[in-house]
Structure 1
Amino acid sequence: MAAIVLIIWTLLILLITTAVRKFNNWWYEPNEKSLAAPLPPGDLGWPIFGHMYSFLRAYTSSNPNAFTDSYLEKYGKLGLYKTHLFSQPTILTTSSDAYKWVTAHGDHFLPGWPDSFNMLFGCNSISLLAGDKHKRMKRLTGPSLQGTDTLARFALQIAEEDVRELETWAREKVINTYDAVTKLIFDRMMKILISCEERSELDEIARIFSKFILAVRAIPINLPGTAHHKGLKARQRLREKLTPVISRRRAGERKDDVLQLWMDQSDDDGQPMTDEELLDMIGGYMIAGHTGSALSLTWFMIFMNEHPEVLEKVRVEAQEVRNTKPPGEPLSYFDTRRLKYLRHVHDEILRIVNIAPFTFRKGRLLKPGQFAAFGEGQRACPGQQFARLNVVIIAYYLALDYK
């Protein structure tokens, strides 16, 4: 009798587990059948959570490619797979051809960000907009970080302050590299964005921002104590910090920064950006311009230590540029355009820490269309030139003046 009960319970557990495991497939099956073309192979995982656990486990490990590799091994090298991430069905792209096709046909696609991202970034964030709204926002904000005159002006500010910050590092016996780099990048970003330079204010905003950024890659469960819940609270506190800055500008205060450039712009109908649009854009640019730059600069220091022959080539090129300048003159934007080898090294580092196996390929020159760390087509990151500029300037001084 006991054996029969055990068998029944075992079968019942297996049945329930199978039903739960297949729930997403059953739930979305009607939508799949209504499509003109079949969806790519894949698996939608568990209800609500999908494959988020596997995704986050790989993302935080020493091998972030493990998640996509599992699809390649199971379904073959097709380039497109269906999965379930951030509480919604998702198409995963792993081939450059598929990626280029999607970015080249941007008008045929709508952003598929999960609702949790809308809650964190705001509905006016350029990453979440589509169609005419996206084009309008890109026209209003793009020139602020893409124009040659603007980049040249900001480059001098960055270079002068980087020199002082690196001298501070040199006086310390020991520094935590990533923490020091993160602080440096954050300080530059806040000065360029909103002219924030006061140390106490920078530290307070940085503390708030650190909680906000953790929620971006957290499971979107809005319960007290969760990273997502803390992130939403941090977002509100961040907006409370930024709102008075915008109000002072509305009242007539002017600064030489990105926010001022945005506020001076108007669309085709003569309408300027609203306060809500400005708040969402500042938050979005803080995320886009901070973490990636801090990581790539940290990895630059690591890989240059591991590849002294590459560092020597970087130094030779940097010294050639310095020799053409008056003594003590800071690096300019136009100087950074001449640092071609250093820029290629930066691209190679971005490639390593994003998509490809962890092998630094010395002097590797990527073919056009194979490198897309900043996106492509209509969805290309409008701040990519500034992000590159920030890292290249610091790397230049590190390579020339420090070990």
Structure 2
Amino acid sequence: MELDLLWLILAIAAGSYIIVYAFVRRVNEWYHVSKLGEKRHFLPPGDMGWPFLGNMPSFLRAYRSNNPETFIDSIVERYGRTGVYKTHLFGNPSIIVSSPQTCRRVLMDDEKFGLGYGKSMTRLAGKNTFVNIAKSEHRRLRKMMTSLMISHEALVMYIGNTEDVAIASLEEWAAASKDEPIEFFCETSKLSLKFIMRILFGSTSDSIFSSVEKHYIDVHDGVHSTAINLPGFAFHKALKARKMLVKILQKVVDERKAMKKNGEQTAKRGMIDLMMEIEDESGKKLQDEDIVDLLIVLLLGAHDGPTHTIMWATIYLYGHPQILQKAKEEQEEIIKTRPSSQKGLSLQEIKQMEYLSKVNIFFFMEQGVTIIIF
């Protein structure tokens, strides 16, 4: 008798939970969809998740697991392979585009699609960056940074800095793998961070690198979280980390200015040095606050892309030995024509790597997922 009563209570509790769960999520979806008026008829399949939280809990569980693609996989399993789904992420109603063809259309159609960012990104990026500035200032800053980043001096600087980091990291991996396997994604993530930090700062002390890395990770986690500014939440921790990061980067800017004033040179220049020198058409230079905000955004924007590109390109090359062999043959041909006195890669050699560059672009595009936030 007591066992039957226990099962009855459990059944009622489970049924009540399912009813409340379905009701609350349905009300949340009605609230967001009803505000669209006639546009609601054009929405793709999907759901808006819980009130305020949306689908962030399931997104973060997948993101922090060993299989982050399970978030998209679960949506595809529920709603079919439409390639477009509605959801609620980072505090905003959103559309997820998961097919490579549709991602290309969204990213390349400037007339129908514009840049947009979640609340976490806009708060953490800084007021003087591409994320938050007006159109006229956006064009000015974009023009300055584009001319800077593709200049001959910058390209040569990228090669030297990244080659040093790559060689050192590969040697570390070789030594570490003798004892036990390495976790490849974690190592490529560290490698990408080292790449961008070396490009941004050139030569600087190890303490600066470690300090920036420590606080950057907290800011990065905050960007991928809901904007809840309360103790215990990732976004709150990220705001505090950003303040520390600003202090560290401002100190580096001050040191470079003092060195330039005294006629000193760093062993290797970085993007920060070029940013301090560049001028727009009217002769206006970037202010310290602009430089610091841009450094933070470049750290955030230039980390995840290379990490996934390196990881997936390596995995696919390993799984497709015929493509790996062709890429290897191209590299060997380039080395054969290299002068015996040359040490390290040159910009001219990079330009000759036509096949390898196509391999990287192909694998990067094939992994594409775009989130459109309203």
Same fold, TM exceeding 0.5?
yes
Answer yes or no: is 1:337 the counterpart of 2:351: yes
Q: Structure 1 residues 81, 291: closer, same or farther in 2, change over 3 A?
A: closer
Partner of 2:298: 285
TM-score normalised to the size of structure 2?
A: 0.78
Answer yes or no: is 1:223 the counterpart of 2:236: no
Instruction: Name the CA distance, whole Å, in 2 between partners of 1:313 and 1:13.
Output: 57
Cα displacement (A) at 1:202: 1.5
Contact preservation (8 Å) 1:83, 1:92: yes
Instruction: Name the CA distance, whole Å, in 1 between partners of 2:326 and 2:173.
Output: 24
Partner of 2:326: 313
| Alignment RMSD | 3.7
Answer yes or no: is 1:194 the counterpart of 2:201: yes
Contact preservation (8 Å) 1:111, 1:130: no
Name the aligned partner's letter for residue 356 of structure 2: L
Instruction: Name the CA distance, whole Å, in 1 between partners of 2:210 and 2:241.
Output: 14
Structure 2: unaligned runs, 5 residues or longer: none
Partner of 1:88: 92
Aligned pairs (5 A) from 1:24-39? 24-33=28-37, 35=39, 38-39=42-43
Cα displacement (A) at 1:110: 4.7
Answer yes or no: is 1:263 the counterpart of 2:267: no
Partner of 2:141: 137
Name the aligned partner's letter for residue 26 of structure 2: K
Partner of 1:393: none
Contact preservation (8 Å) 1:208, 1:234: yes
Contact preservation (8 Å) 1:23, 1:46: no
Partner of 1:121: 125
Q: Give CA deviations for 1:128-171 in whole Å, capped at 9, x if unaligned.
A: 55633332221121222223442134313433554455456555
Q: Structure 1 residues 19, 170: closer, same or farther in 2, change over 3 A?
A: closer
Contact preservation (8 Å) 2:83, 2:99: yes
Instruction: Name the CA distance, whole Å, in 2 between partners of 1:71 and 1:97.
Output: 18
Which piece of structure 1 moves more, 238-247 or 328-337?
Answer: 328-337
Q: Structure 1 residues 37, 330: closer, same or farther in 2, change over 3 A?
A: same
SS class of match (1:218):
coil
Which piece of structure 1 moves more, 285-294 or 8-17?
Answer: 8-17
Q: Give CA deviations for 1:29-55 in whole Å, capped at 9, x if unaligned.
A: 442116597433432121011112232
SS class of match (1:81):
strand
SS class of match (1:325):
coil
Q: Structure 1 residues 124, 11: closer, same or farther in 2, change over 3 A?
A: same
Instruction: Name the CA distance, whole Å, in 2 between partners of 1:92 and 1:330.
Output: 42
Q: Structure 1 residues 17, 325: closer, same or farther in 2, change over 3 A?
A: closer
Structure 1: unaligned runs, 5 residues or longer: 357-371, 376-403
Q: Structure 1 residues 139, 243: closer, same or farther in 2, change over 3 A?
A: same
Instruction: Name the CA distance, whole Å, in 2 between partners of 1:150 and 1:261.
Output: 8
Which piece of structure 1 moves more, 323-332 or 250-259?
Answer: 250-259
Q: Give CA deviations for 1:158-188 in whole Å, capped at 9, x if unaligned.
A: 3355445545655564474645544444333
Name the aligned partner's letter for residue 221 of structure 1: I
Q: Structure 1 residues 231, 303: closer, same or farther in 2, change over 3 A?
A: same
Q: Structure 1 residues 291, 92: closer, same or farther in 2, change over 3 A?
A: closer
Instruction: Name the CA distance, whole Å, in 1 between partners of 2:34 and 2:321.
Output: 58
Contact preservation (8 Å) 1:44, 1:82: yes
SS class of match (1:40):
coil
Contact preservation (8 Å) 1:177, 1:298: no
Q: Structure 1 residues 30, 355: closer, same or farther in 2, change over 3 A?
A: closer
SS class of match (1:84):
strand
Name the aligned partner's letter for residue 59 of structure 1: Y
Answer yes or no: is 1:322 the counterpart of 2:329: no
Partner of 2:26: 22
Cα displacement (A) at 1:198: 1.9
Which piece of structure 1 moves more, 72-81 or 139-148?
Answer: 72-81
Instruction: Name the CA distance, whole Å, in 2 between partners of 1:223 and 1:211.
Output: 15
Partner of 1:206: 213
For this pair of structures, how many residues does the alignment match?
355
Higher RCO (Cα < 8 Å, 6 or more apart): 2
Partner of 1:45: 49
Cα displacement (A) at 1:321: 0.5
Contact preservation (8 Å) 2:229, 2:236: yes
Partner of 1:389: none
Contact preservation (8 Å) 2:157, 2:199: no
Aligned pairs (5 A) from 1:349-360? 349-351=363-365, 354-355=367-368
Instruction: Name the CA distance, whole Å, in 2 between partners of 1:349 and 1:194.
Output: 29
SS class of match (2:302):
helix
Instruction: Name the CA distance, whole Å, in 1 between partners of 2:49 and 2:318.
Output: 42
SS class of match (2:51):
coil
Partner of 2:241: 234
Contact preservation (8 Å) 1:118, 1:128: yes
Cα displacement (A) at 1:84: 0.8
SS class of match (1:91):
strand
Name the aligned partner's letter for residue 278 of structure 2: Q
